Amino acid sequence: MGISIKEASEKLGLAPHTIRYYEKEGLLPALQRDEYGNRIFEEKDLESISLLNCFRVTGLPVATLKQMVDLTLQGDSTIPQRTVILREYKQDLVRQQQELDRAFAIVNMKLSKYDLLEQGQLAPQDRMGL
């Protein structure tokens, strides 16, 4: 037996409106409803929503997600197309990770300078910006 949108949102840590948005955008085409029109979420739906949210949080556009869903509905013959999309997405994630790693290193360097300043171990002429 499935669970309600409230239970699904609590289990996934997402707001109900986020889940409704995913459905409205056609990203949850297999979602069932009861006789009153209430959404019924099965485990497979929760897994799909979790994956969709992961992709969204990292910046994959809804249009690309919709393309992936549409291709999935067409069957296994579209696996090569889906693979291309995910490989490109992975490359974007690698670039994002590299940028984040650089930013992380800069923040750590700046924090180290602040620590030295607080300890009186950095001469005023060695200060740089912020």
Region of residue 14 (phi > 0: left; psi between -120 and 50: alpha; otherwise: beta): beta
Confidence (pLDDT) at 118: 85
Res 130 pLDDT > 90: no
Question: For 67-124, how does the pLDDT look when each residue is reduced to its tens digit (9 = 90+)?
Answer: 999 999 999 999 999 999 999 999 999 999 999 999 999 999 999 988 988 888 877 6
105, burial (CB in 10 Å: exposed 0-12, middle 13-18, buried 19+)? exposed
Confidence (pLDDT) at 104: 98
62-74 helix and 43-57 helix, angle to the nearest 10 degrees:
140
DSSP 122: S
